[in-house]
Amino acid sequence: MQLDTRNCREGGADPVAVLKKYPGRARTIHIKPFGGGPEAIIGEDDVDWAGVFEFCETRGNTEWYVVEHETSQNPLATAGRTLAALKKMGKV
């Protein structure tokens, strides 16, 4: 299974709740911000990242986080900000 956090939230679901239904099956997870505006990155949005990462690292059997940001006007700057945010969260 590869959950997409943004698509999950757009569909009205909570990514952590969905992940909990499938322990051990989230080998990859598509992490994408939801909410916070078009330039918001992971950590500046409405996803419970602490909960997502905690599940993935303890019960998800997650090997890879696949990062995407598709709405930015300045993609290179957004990629840099995202990398910095993930480093601050201890994910890089």
pTM score = 0.93
pLDDT tens across the length of the chain (92 residues)? 899 999 999 999 999 999 999 999 999 999 999 999 889 999 999 999 999 999 999 999 999 999 988 888 999 999 999 999 999 999 98
Torsion angles phi and psi, residue 38, rounded to 5: -65, -25
Separation between Cα atoms, residue 85 and residue 27, nearest integer Å: 22
Sequence ranges of the domains in the chain: 2-88
- In this structure, are residues 42 and 33 in contact, taking their beta carbons and an 8 Å threshold? yes
Q: Encode burial over 4-15: b for 16+ CB neighbours within 10 A, e otherwise.
A: bbbebbeeeeeb
